[in-house]
Amino acid sequence: MSSDLALNISGCLSVNSWDAENQTYRPYIVGGPPDFDFQINPGIGLFVDVSQNSTFTFVGIKLASYSIPLKIGWNLIGWYDMDTTMASSIAENISDCVSVNAWDATNQTYKPYIVGGPPDFDFVVKPGMGLFVDVTEDSNWSGEG
């Protein structure tokens, strides 16, 4: 649950998931109403707002495979593999992907990779990163990248 994650991150203010169906955030705010708590699912990216620099280490069983439904528009996925990959590789493995975007916490802005755009906009995707992907057709992503 989002509340369990929040309890294990120092200075956590909120945990937010993305509702691709409605193109909006679903927030769990620490100390807020309990009915805002939500289930965390494998392969789905999250935004975690913290009041201080914090490190979270997850220990568990590596996912063998999964299928994430993607809706037309923006979707938030999580890179679960222990190896790095490139944003372009993620895009190549998602049907009708227009862009892959990562949040740059240091600069408080998005880092975009646009399919067909300049190759120097490609970026490294590290284990545990959440990525916004924009697609023009409903599909499923099976974690390739």
Among the listed residues 23, 20, 12, the one whose alpha carbon sits nearest the alpha carbon of residue 44:
20
Instruction: Report, as an integer, the average pLDDT of 20-41.
Output: 86
4: pLDDT strictly greater than 90? no
pLDDT in tens, 62-112: 666 678 889 999 998 888 788 899 999 999 999 999 999 998 888 888 999
Per-residue pLDDT of 35-56, as tens digits, reads 899 888 766 777 888 888 877 7
For the entire predicted model, the pTM comes to: 0.77
Greater confidence (143 vs 134) lies with: 134
pLDDT at residue 46, rounded to an integer: 79
Beta-strand runs (E) in the chain: 12-19, 24-29, 47-50, 68-70, 73-78, 85-86, 97-104, 109-114, 124-125, 130-135, 139-141
Q: What is the pLDDT of residue 64?
A: 64
